[in-house]
Structure 1
Amino acid sequence: MATIQKKSFWQQYGGLILILGGIAIGALIGAFAPSVGTTIKPIGDIFLNLLFTIVVPLVFVSIASAVGSMANMKRLGRILGSTVGTFIFTGLIAAACVLTWVNLFSPSAGASIQLTTGEVGEAQSAGELLVSSLTVSDFSDLWDKSNMLPLIIFAIIFGFCVSACGGDESPMGKLLNNLNDIIMKFVGVIMFIAPIGLGAYFANLVATYGPEIVGDYGRSMLVYYPLCLLYAVIFFPLYAFLAGGKLGVRMMIQNIFPPAITAFATQSSAATIPVNKEACDNIGVPKDVSDLVLPMGCTMHMDGSVLSSIVKIAFLYGVFGKDFVGAETYAMAIVVAILSAFVLSGAPGGGLVGEMLIVSMFNFPAEAFPIIATLGFIFDPAATCLNSSGDTIASMIVTRLVEGKDWLVKAVAAKKETA
């Protein structure tokens, strides 16, 4: 057995410290020198654009290669079934938590919002929403990051066909595996400049919006952000324990912060996929599991969005003088929250579609849309943080369901042998 070399503190946490340092410096620049913060905005945009340009090929190639290399289609079915089941399970727990929370602490108490006319737009029917969420009408539309779910479905079918036509040993299988290695190298290059890119992005964010997110919306922030923190502190370790016992909790704590910080700073689940992939690899999640769970989680794992959506609904009920009570109201809120989370795109601002869905399905007047859009901006960093960092933990749960309770012990032992 090879000699095991223990990582130094800097080797373990150096990247995280640099990213946190970059964000902290960026926030200070944005707060005390806003003109500088807006000037360096292009640096942050370049970093974010690099992440976005790699997301679509990363999602397609990772899923297609993972499915294409599976000779055992039964395993694929178990991974997909466990993934959907895990997302629904955690989403329902989030819904129960937020319904309890908003009844204890009303997000709209004391708010005196000035109502302005806003355009809600025409709501889609359930059938139209289903079609537009799952498919696109043209092949070229698959390569738009706002159509992530249709891309995932296409990649799964493509990978299945690769598996049926030779799998790993076929020319296409070898090409996909090689492309996957190249893309992960590319991700490593991008993440090398993450401290500078995230720092510049955060500097502009604070410079542009810092003073504007207080006031009448402060109460909703005081309700929502502590709720997100409590959910992460209580349920993330619980999920990790269910996935891998005490070792699972330890591995989760060691690896969860880079994806959480990236998601919070960029407000994008799609941009966080490469960082989540790195975290899953460090933990020991099998490649075929993370390659499927992470892209699906980008558009379907909805804990933070469920919390956000129900707080928004409760806020609107209070603003428009309605009581947010009753089993029927709660059930409708859960359904709408899950639907609105499901149609989000994974890019910043994608929540506008979900917010229009909330306004239309609860029959709020058009004036509600600017209110809920503002709330969406305020809540988006924390919601995306929970959604995206939770994808890593979801990958651990799915691995536990697919490979059994000792999966993490075996993974850690295997990593030590190859160290």
Structure 2
Amino acid sequence: MTQLHSSLVRIANTNLVVQILIGIIAGLVLATLSPESAHAVGILGGLFVNALKAVAPILVFILVAASIANQKKGQSTHLKPIIFLYLMGTLAASITAVAMSFLFPTHLELVTSSTSVIPPEGIAAVIRTLLFNIVDNPIHALMTGNFIGVLAWAIALGIALHHASDATKTVFSDISDGISNIVRFIIKLAPIGIFGLVANTFADTGTEALLGYSHLLAVLLGCMLTMALLVNPLIVFAMTRKNPYPLVFQCLRESGVTAFFTRSSAANIPVNMALCEKLELNKDIYSVSIPLGATINMGGAAITITVLTLAAASTLDIDIDIATAILLSVVAAASACGASGVAGGSLLLIPLACNLFGIPNDIAMQVVAVGFIIGVIQDSAETALNSSTDVIFTAAASRSVLADKN
């Protein structure tokens, strides 16, 4: 008994990443040995994800408002280079997906049933949704996790309080610190939450449904790994002129792993902010750039849209020329930036891209259904890439600005 207690104490004192890896292994073992028990502990994962989702909107709202309210006159937040990296990274992801799809064409075995959800009718519908999300009621935005609306109201309130008394600004700053402490506590529970998520996921889905789409998954994951391990490091090196891999691997470990299992960019916002604090980045910068990145930095979504659209075209023997492929890259990147404003995320934007090739909507919705089948892996990898890249680009731009100053 004493030995067990000492082992638990030793695990509790190890690095959080090590604890998460132990949770993943334990979840896999439990799902293999006892699926019923794995389903039972799934409640731990659900509680963890819901706790992150619950704290994320109020964290963003308070942190952004306090940051802007307390910003000194003439101080720059250096958001422009970060936004540029977000948009460039999303477009690069789409181009990577086009190249991989040409190199490894995919033919789908389309499912017979389509989904009951309704995709947007065009890019105008995506933009319209985003615009209405910006002017959403602030209470409704907080309740529904509409981060575009939360961010817009936080910026507006921060600007309005910029000329408030020092006492008012101090109150907001203290509340911000209090919310941050709550976030730190929730993140400490990540190993337990991820243990529940892994156990429940693998006990529920297994691997049989995924084997039939192994080639499609290989292309999707290949694109995302190429972005994570080659393209993103090149972008970071271009910004900082330093070895990018220590930063890239740290963000993949401490942000990507959590995002992979929570499958929610919104839920990973508190994790990313804690990582930015650990990296000693400027709070005035990351308090805005991280929630913004969860909305517009969508390289993983661009890959999903592009690969599945080109798979549909290949299945129907539609010839794609280079000009049309480039157009698809731009459309996929633009659509991906609006994916968070559309119910169902990136998969529901596939019919929009399929319209470029005249693919009938009923076929496009069957491709969406295929996406849902492989979603347990596709969505996890997509979220991991999107969320970890938010921190990577924020850190790269921040360090580039510091280097220029020195």
Q: Would you call these one fold, judging by a TM-score over 0.5?
A: yes
Aligned counterpart, 1:4? none
Residues 244, 405 of structure 1: 8 Å contact kept: no
Mean Cα displacement is larger for which, 64-73 or 117-126? Answer: 117-126
**Matched residues in 2 for 1:372 and 1:45: separation?**
25
Aligned counterpart, 1:6? none
Match of 1:351 among 338, 341, 346: 346
**Matched residues in 2 for 1:350 and 1:247: separation?**
34
What is the TM-score of this pair, normalised by structure 2?
0.87
Mean Cα displacement is larger for which, 152-161 or 258-267? Answer: 152-161
User: Number of residues paired by the alignment?
Assistant: 391
**Matched residues in 2 for 1:368 and 1:348: separation?**
17
**Matched residues in 2 for 1:393 and 1:254: separation?**
9
What is the TM-score of this pair, normalised by structure 1?
0.84
Structure 1, unpaired ranges of 5+: 1-8, 408-419
**Matched residues in 2 for 1:234 and 1:125: separation?**
32
Question: Map of 1:7-406 to 2, 5 A cutoff?
Answer: 14-72=15-73, 75-76=76-77, 79-108=78-107, 111-119=108-116, 121=118, 123-124=120-121, 126-134=123-131, 135-163=134-162, 165-166=163-164, 169-246=165-242, 249-323=245-319, 325-345=320-340, 349-355=344-350, 357-358=352-353, 363-376=359-372, 377=375, 378-405=377-404
Structure 2, unpaired ranges of 5+: 1-9
Mean Cα displacement is larger for which, 307-316 or 142-151? Answer: 142-151
**Matched residues in 2 for 1:256 and 1:80: separation?**
22
Identity %: 25
Alpha-carbon displacement from aligned partner over 1:369-407 (angstroms, at most 9, x marks no partner): 243243251411111111000111111122135433477
**Matched residues in 2 for 1:382 and 1:309: separation?**
14
Alpha-carbon displacement from aligned partner over 1:49-106 (angstroms, at most 9, x marks no partner): 1001000011111211222222235614xx2322221111212222222211111011
* Pair 272,144 (structure 1): closer, same or farther in 2 beyond 3 Å: same
**Amino acid aligned to 2:156:** I
**Matched residues in 2 for 1:259 and 1:248: separation?**
16
- 1:115, distance to aligned residue in structure 2 (A): 3.0
Alpha-carbon displacement from aligned partner over 1:34-61 (angstroms, at most 9, x marks no partner): 2222111111101111001000011111
Residues 138, 150 of structure 2: 8 Å contact kept: no
* Pair 308,289 (structure 1): closer, same or farther in 2 beyond 3 Å: same
* Pair 388,293 (structure 1): closer, same or farther in 2 beyond 3 Å: same
Partner SS for 2:212: coil
- 1:123, distance to aligned residue in structure 2 (A): 3.3
* Pair 302,75 (structure 1): closer, same or farther in 2 beyond 3 Å: same
Mean Cα displacement is larger for which, 235-244 or 45-54? Answer: 235-244
RMSD between aligned residues = 2.8
**Matched residues in 2 for 1:373 and 1:222: separation?**
18
**Matched residues in 1 for 2:266 and 2:13: separation?**
25
**Matched residues in 2 for 1:251 and 1:211: separation?**
32
Mean Cα displacement is larger for which, 291-300 or 217-226? Answer: 217-226
